[in-house]
Structure 1
């Protein structure tokens, strides 16, 4: 394994991959809570115009969204947090699908294998979509919110698709910086929860969907779900920054992870 690959793999939170064909989901990470209680809020130092532009655009977009939604890092209500999380996850599920689809078509027309990119990108898209549906179990958006989601998706999908065709490395750097912001946001959410500023969530039990997806214990709380989601975002952060450093036809070097089935994990939880 190259030193570059080892460096980025070392940034990933400790995890295992779970496989359950009955759930109709791809293999995805599951975690031990002690391994993800602290996830570093890292920042990739920009190098060159492409990186600075990507970081600047992410900061501008986030700043505008924060201003529009009244984001406050000191205190927000459970309803404000849920609205923010749901909207952001509808956006976060787009890049992986666009990248995976684009590289799939590229592989077909070039008659060459993809070297591991497609699977990683599609798993990212499904993972973000699952975050969305976990949050939707706690809040049902109204008509105006759904309209905003439709408009945002229509604009963002097409812009990202065109950008990915022309500048795929820039797009991965953009998503890497976007995921840096996601990790920061979920860290602030956890901080407010631990400080008792979101009392509705202090004893809230994790939904069955979240328990099944992350293979959490029977009495798992919503806090464990947020920890798991933050860990997912940190993986997306490092993966996309790594993809931005690679050439388009370069192989993906994977970490060695232990794949378990759901029954094995259930037995571990009982133990």
Structure 2
């Protein structure tokens, strides 16, 4: 829940790939982007509903595996577990918010179930055997999320998408003004994604140095 006006969360930050694993991570994300663009095009509300379902997986998987690692090695986790579980909960709140704004169709609900099942298992094994690459994948996914929410915001500002009232859930969670609209929700969500982007790239960098 960072402030986008803060210099610590620039929107256009990009982590230049360094080495084969980083390039693989970026390639995975670009491959996923092709399917997202083909299926949703510029329907950013529906795109958010489906993609936030997937986005809530990495934090939970990473937190669980780091928890088990901490138990096995009987040592502190340096705050990683809480950070990742908080990320998973934050992404879930994104989903709960956009469900109120863009009701998913039956096909999209089926896509949610299929996508989550595939992504959970794929990410679990990726994190198990290559945690640095897994965090880098999330970092690049969040870079794309910032781009997507910027596009969504542009549609609202242009009048292409109605600037509807913010759901009560969003007003409470982000402590928005009582009369907040969709525009304020998108800005708050985009700020979250920028923070997750930076955190996961930092985790990947730390693992690269370990």
The two structures, once aligned, show a CA RMSD in angstroms of: 2.0
Distance 2:52 2:139 in 1: 15
Q: Per-residue deviation at 1:141?
A: 2.5
Which has the higher Rg, Structure 1 or Structure 2? 1
**Mapping 1:7-46, distance limit 5 Å:** 29=1, 31=3, 35=6, 39-46=10-17
Q: Per-residue deviation at 1:57?
A: 1.4
Give the match's secondary structure for 2:207: coil
- Name the TM-score, length of structure 2 as normaliser: 0.92
CA contact (8 A) 2:2 2:195 kept: no
Match of 1:67 in 2: 38
Distance 2:12 2:207 in 1: 27
1:156 partnered with 2:119 = yes
1:212 partnered with 2:172 = yes
Match of 1:57 in 2: 28
Count of residues paired in the alignment: 209
The 1:89–1:210 alpha-carbon spacing in structure 2 relative to 1, beyond 3 Å, is: same
- Name the TM-score, length of structure 1 as normaliser: 0.72
Q: Which runs of 5 or more residues in structure 1 are unaligned?
A: 1-28, 251-271
The 1:112–1:231 alpha-carbon spacing in structure 2 relative to 1, beyond 3 Å, is: same
**2:101 counterpart (135, 138, 147):** 138
**1:81 counterpart (36, 39, 44):** 44
Provide, for residues 58-110 of structure 1, a one-character-per-residue CA deviation record: whole Å limited to 9, x for no partner. 111101221233x1xxxx4xxx2221110010010000000000001111122
Match of 1:23 in 2: none
1:48 partnered with 2:19 = yes
Q: Which runs of 5 or more residues in structure 2 are unaligned?
A: none
The 1:53–1:248 alpha-carbon spacing in structure 2 relative to 1, beyond 3 Å, is: closer
1:171 partnered with 2:134 = yes
